[in-house]
């Protein structure tokens, strides 16, 4: 009887560990996107108030002044922020 209890506990611990490992990357990516959106909103508010884009802590917004086309719509000025955090996921514009 004790053997089955130990086996069940071990299987439960392995299942919890696997679900944690699989969910951690997705939650980190989602948090990076939310943080990037907040930083972009803050950069926009600072731009409207002062006319400049300032770094906010560790985030550094980039301003692209060349025309960028997104789905056929041209934007003359775009602000982007790096959300890679060492994982190479790219930028959020």
pLDDT given at position 13: 94
pLDDT value, residue 16: 93
Tens digit of pLDDT per residue, the chain (93 long)? 888 999 999 999 999 999 888 888 788 878 878 888 888 888 888 888 887 788 877 777 877 777 777 788 877 777 777 766 555 556 666
User: Is residue 80 a contact partner of residue 66, using CB atoms and an 8 Å limit?
Assistant: no
User: What is the model's pTM?
Assistant: 0.60
Contacts of 54 (CB under 8 A, 6+ apart): 43, 46
DSSP assignments along 14-78, one per residue: HHHHHHHHHHHHHHHHHHHHHHHHHHHHHHHHHHHHHSS---BTTB--EEE-S-EEETTEEES-E
Q: How far is the C-alpha of 11 from the C-alpha of 72, rounded, in Å? A: 52
């Amino acid at each position: 009887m004790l053997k089955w209890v130990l086996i069940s506990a071990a299987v439960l611990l392995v299942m919890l560990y696997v679900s944690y490992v699989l969910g951690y990357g997705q939650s980190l990516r989602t948090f990076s996107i939310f943080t990037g959106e907040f930083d972009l909103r803050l950069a926009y508010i600072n731009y409207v108030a002062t006319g400049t884009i300032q770094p906010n802590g560790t985030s550094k917004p980039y301003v692209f002044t060349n025309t960028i086309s997104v789905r056929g719509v041209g934007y003359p000025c775009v602000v982007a922020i790096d959300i890679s955090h060492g994982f190479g996921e790219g930028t959020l514009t």
